[in-house]
Amino acid sequence: MIEVLYFAWVRERIGIPREKVETEAETVAELVGELAAREARYAAAFADLSALRVAVDQELADFDAPLKGAREVAFFPPMTGG
């Protein structure tokens, strides 16, 4: 079970800020594949991965990062702080 979080327009597109996901995905990319296959709103949010960033357990990660042991995965657009 992984807690999946969405921020900014990813959150808006998917319609929820977070959800628990039952998954056997071994990498972030596999998790993205499972989510995108769910519904059109997920497919739309994950249509262009180059426009997305991912954090695993609150650390920026790549899409090929392993999920073994991860409790929290977040998807969001490039950050615009400062």
Q: Which window, 7-15, 25-33, 38-46, 61-69, contacts other proteins (CB under 8 A)?
A: 7-15
- In whole angstroms, give the CA distance from residue 26 to residue 30: 6
Given a contact cutoff of 8 angstroms between Cβ atoms, the answer to whether 51 and 13 are in contact is no
State the nearest-atom distance from the C-beta of 8 to other proteins, in Å. 4
Q: For residues 39 and 59, which CB has a smaller minimum distance to other proteins in the complex?
A: 59
- In whole angstroms, give the CA distance from residue 24 to residue 80: 32
User: Encoding tokens for residue 70?
Assistant: 């991860």
- Report the site for other proteins in 18-77 (rule: CB under 8 A): 55, 58-60, 74, 76-77
Q: What letter represents residue 59's amino acid?
A: E
Q: Which residues bind other proteins (CB under 8 A)?
A: 5, 7-9, 11, 55, 58-60, 74, 76-82
